[in-house]
Amino acid sequence: MSRRLLVLNPNSNESVTRGLARALEPLAAELGVIVDVETLPGAPFGIESDEDIATVGPMVVDRFSEASDYAACVIACYSDPGLDAAKARVSMPVFGIHESAARFCAERGWRFGVLALGQESIDRHVAYVAGLGLADLHAGERPMDISVDQAANDPATLDKIVAAGRLLIDEDGAQCLVLGCAGLAAWREAAEAALGVPVIDPVIAAVQAAA
């Protein structure tokens, strides 16, 4: 059986893809799998709106339809674009990082707070978690008002994570925090050290589930 997993960054920002690859390298070695991280050509530079999600969903399905040599595929965007359609059309298992992170927390009984890019993202996330039947464990979300590119590349992002994370813990009762964008992977360890609660990288949660 193939031990190769495909992690698809469904935007065209190569710096996000490189960050994902760096974050997943030690996990792949630990799990004994090969993880190929790809950028989706022709996609928007960041997935930040309903229009972006609608645009890339069919593109994700098309790419996964060509990935028959992989054991499983992961959509590395917190909006899980194209997830339901891919599950219906693709022969191998497909994992969305939002769903995977929420279920990871729920399996442990943790109330999770989400560090979101902006308010528009929060509106989508709340409805999505309710659809998964996990609203009771959803402590809340806080916007950082940043773009996908800033999430991956702006050093000021760590301070915004810590500030929003503190509100989620102290005011919303979160027992763990979920990074609400795949581009935030580089800040996970520093954020966890600063905040003193588990900080979940949803891409790692999805790859662990896929493996």
92-142 residue pLDDT tens: 999 999 999 999 999 999 999 999 999 999 999 999 999 999 999 999 999
The secondary structure of 79-126 as a DSSP string is T-TTHHHHHHH-SS-EEEHHHHHHHHHHHTT--EEEEESSHHHHHHHH
Q: What local confidence, expressed as pLDDT, does residue 141 receive?
A: 98
H or E stretch covering 35 = strand 34-39
Q: What is the mean pLDDT of residues 64-84?
A: 96
Q: What is the mean pLDDT of residues 19-36?
A: 96
91 pLDDT above the threshold of 60: yes
Q: What local confidence, expressed as pLDDT, does residue 192 receive?
A: 98
Among the listed residues 58, 90, 63, 60, the one whose alpha carbon sits nearest the alpha carbon of residue 77: 60
Q: What local confidence, expressed as pLDDT, does residue 12 receive?
A: 96
Burial of 197 (0-12, 13-18, 19+ CB in 10 A): middle
Give me the phi and psi of 115, to 5 degrees please.
Answer: -90, 100
Confidence tier at 2 by pLDDT (50, 70, 90): low
pTM of full prediction above 0.85: yes
Rounded Cα gap, residues 43 and 75, in angstroms: 13
Confidence tier at 40 by pLDDT (50, 70, 90): very high
Dihedral sign, Cα of residue 116, residue 174, residue 179, residue 149: positive
Q: What local confidence, expressed as pLDDT, does residue 42 receive?
A: 95
Give me the phi and psi of 102, to 5 degrees please.
Answer: -65, -40
Other C-beta atoms within 10 Å of 189: how many? 12
- pLDDT tens per residue, range 148-171: 999 999 999 999 999 999 999 999
Share of the chain above pLDDT 70, in %: 99
Q: What is the mean pLDDT of residues 183-205?
A: 97
